[in-house]
Structure 1
């Protein structure tokens, strides 16, 4: 799995400049900051891109979708003020909440202080992306949207394999996670995640359920990692997908002609030959090898009677290839000594 890295705020969720905030001009004239009704009344949440989930029915729905057991240890990423946390604690063994904002962490602890749930809550103060995670069975998160992708891949790479994750994301990101091959939203993200997990869209969440409200709609997805995980090296699979999905609606032959691909394949092939003590022909041409593999390898048949109609990968497009198709293509390259990581 890739090393998770933090990302900068997206346009939709980044801090709003003072000049663009409602009432900013009035605040400047009076010498004091105006308080917007859309802002969280406890904290300035913009620094960490936080949008506090305030609808208790939505929070309960998320917890219900997690199908928690009394013996479960739950990881919650970005608990905020604890609106989800207080609904998770009564139905599980323990909650490990990872929070970057010390003010929010203090608020969560305050909410359970002196209650039977206090001993069941553990706070990890810091950046989730960089944190060493303890054992947990299920992850629940109203995700800070700027860490959506790092969060997903960190969860998929966690060992032992977790049972499931119920995560709130920006609607478009969530739909890409769930997209089917051949659909408009099918992309490298879809292919990579669905190779290692089953992903379901379980709930739509409108802007009005948050404070301050985000500029985009949200969705909740449930991710169930495959256990055991497929015996496919992620870096290798993702390396192929980087090439294939670089120009989704072009043929694969055109994708592999993109700048830098031939050089990458040539370098990796020579490394593979050196490691395996194979001689390299004097007239070796990486592009010729790529073209041969693409032309000779047929896309797997979807049904038993399709054998005569199977196209070669050379004339196929990434938008129409399934995860199994991509695995077959990767296998064909690997057999000939071509690697992508």
Structure 2
């Protein structure tokens, strides 16, 4: 393919301006670029998107072709069936627009799937937010996106995980009104470096991880989500006479449970489903959890 590309520009005005880089786009150090236009291998769609969004300096726009369903997930809005963790993470970092459909008959031989072209424009400057905290919360929210948040967050498994986070986390501070995290009095230098969008390797590594995991979610999607969180009803089973959760009798930190429940009630998200929440809603929720000392990263 590379030989054919060089052959086509040989003797033309663009011959001296063409540079071909051969390698794995997910591993190769990308040069500076302003625009990215690609017919992407569909199996690397998600990690490629996050690889591009982690690239510095930031590019102006990317026009990419994906499998139709993946493209619709990138552009899905709250309430859409395909709205998922991938949708929220990508739209937090970029503006995404669906440009056109590409029928399979446009290819030889025709593939088994339909395609779409999307335009991705990174938000510049990027949002100042702790992405580990952000995505840690989203993982919980989208365990079962059709469930109410209170049913999700009061699972025994979730509460135990949050308790472990609380025990091991340093004092990281609180999330401000503008979405930025302010270091606490006991925050170390290492903690502070995690509080806002890191322009270096740490951010790239995190995004690469998100890309791989979101890709797996895309394959599974919500059909398998009913297998997640078998303890929802147990976490929601409240003794009406005492007003205390039965989970408190089984080693769950009652104070943490009350903090989580307080956040959900005060933000009016207790009976809201993840699939209905906007990015601003998730930002408000994360900020409220931080004010109660609840951590996800």
Task: Give the TM-score taking structure 2 as reference length.
Answer: 0.69
CA distance in 2, matches of 1:238, 1:208: 38
* From 215, 219, 228, the counterpart of 2:125: 228
Q: Which has the higher contact order (CA 8 A, sep 6+)?
A: 2
* From 183, 186, 198, the counterpart of 2:80: 183
Cα deviation 1:9-63 (Å, max 9, x = unaligned): xxxxxxxxxxxxxxxxxxxxxxxxxxxxxxxxxxxxxxxxxxxxxxxxxxxxxxx
What stretches of structure 1 of length at least 5 have no aligned partner? 1-103, 299-311
Indicate yes or no: 2:287 matched with 1:287: no
CA distance in 2, matches of 1:266, 1:105: 54
Report the CA distance shift for 1:259/1:114 in structure 2 as closer, same or farther (over 3 A). Answer: farther
* From 160, 163, 168, the counterpart of 1:263: 160
* From 269, 285, 290, the counterpart of 1:329: 285
What stretches of structure 2 of length at least 5 have no aligned partner? 173-184, 188-252
CA distance in 1, matches of 2:100, 2:156: 41
Deviation for aligned residue 1:233: 2.4
CA distance in 1, matches of 2:265, 2:90: 28
Give the secondary-structure state (helix, strand or coil) at the position aligned to 2:37.
strand
Cα deviation 1:182-236 (Å, max 9, x = unaligned): 1222111111111111111001101011223211100000011111111112222
Task: Give the TM-score taking structure 1 as reference length.
Answer: 0.61
Instruction: Kindly report which structure 2 residues correspond to 1:116-265, keeping only aligned pairs within 5 A, or say none.
Output: 116-258=13-155, 260-265=157-162
Superposition misfits of 4+ residues, deviation over 6 angstroms = none
CA distance in 1, matches of 2:254, 2:159: 12
Instruction: Say what the alpha-carbon RMSD is for the aligned residues.
Output: 1.9
Report the CA distance shift for 1:135/1:290 in structure 2 as closer, same or farther (over 3 A). Answer: same
Report the CA distance shift for 1:134/1:254 in structure 2 as closer, same or farther (over 3 A). Answer: same
Which entry has the higher C-alpha Rg, 1 or 2? 1
CA distance in 1, matches of 2:285, 2:103: 40
Total equivalences in the alignment: 220
CA distance in 1, matches of 2:32, 2:96: 22
Deviation for aligned residue 1:151: 0.9
Give the secondary-structure state (helix, strand or coil) at the position aligned to 2:142.
helix
Deviation for aligned residue 1:161: 1.6
Deviation for aligned residue 1:336: 2.1
Give the secondary-structure state (helix, strand or coil) at the position aligned to 1:106.
helix
CA distance in 1, matches of 2:157, 2:23: 38
